[in-house]
Amino acid sequence: MTQIPNKTYDLEERTAKFAESVIELMKKLPKDSINVKMIEQCVGSAGSIGANYCEANEAESKKDFQHKIGICKKEMKETKHWIRLLAKANPEFTKELRILWQEAQELLLIFSSIIKSSKKKV
């Protein structure tokens, strides 16, 4: 069963573990005509989150940082969308997909908070 590892405050590691968990579960899903495209999209967007977060950590300006975190947020929303559709197409995997969706939701809230706090005037 797919499990998200213990929560960590290292977001680079947490986003990488999230993408790894997505890959592990996607390998278990049937490769039928409905799933193939959704699996590809879900793996792509899930992997993009961590890559963009790594780029945000190396941002050249505050604006660049905010932009990269915004991309993380968009990719997370897309990943949640694909997880939802995959759950509809694969009801036997609903429990495992729900775990991934919940982690995606938590990460989305974290990225939203980062954006909000980075826009505050100091």
Confidence of residue 120 (pLDDT cuts 50, 70, 90): confident
Domain boundaries, the chain: 12-118
Q: How confident is the model at residue 3 (pLDDT cuts 50, 70, 90)?
A: low
Check: CB of residue 53 under 8 Å from CB of residue 73: no
Does residue 21 contact residue 103 with C-beta atoms inside 8 Å? yes
- Torsion, Cα 79 1 35 13, to 10 degrees, reads 30
Instruction: For 41-74, write each residue's pLDDT tens digit.
Output: 999 999 999 999 999 999 999 999 999 999 999 9
d(CA 53, CA 21) in angstroms, rounded, equals 17
Homologous superfamily, domain 12-118: 23S rRNA-intervening sequence (1.20.1440.60)
d(C-alpha 105, C-alpha 107), whole Å? 5
Looking at residue 109, its pLDDT comes to 98
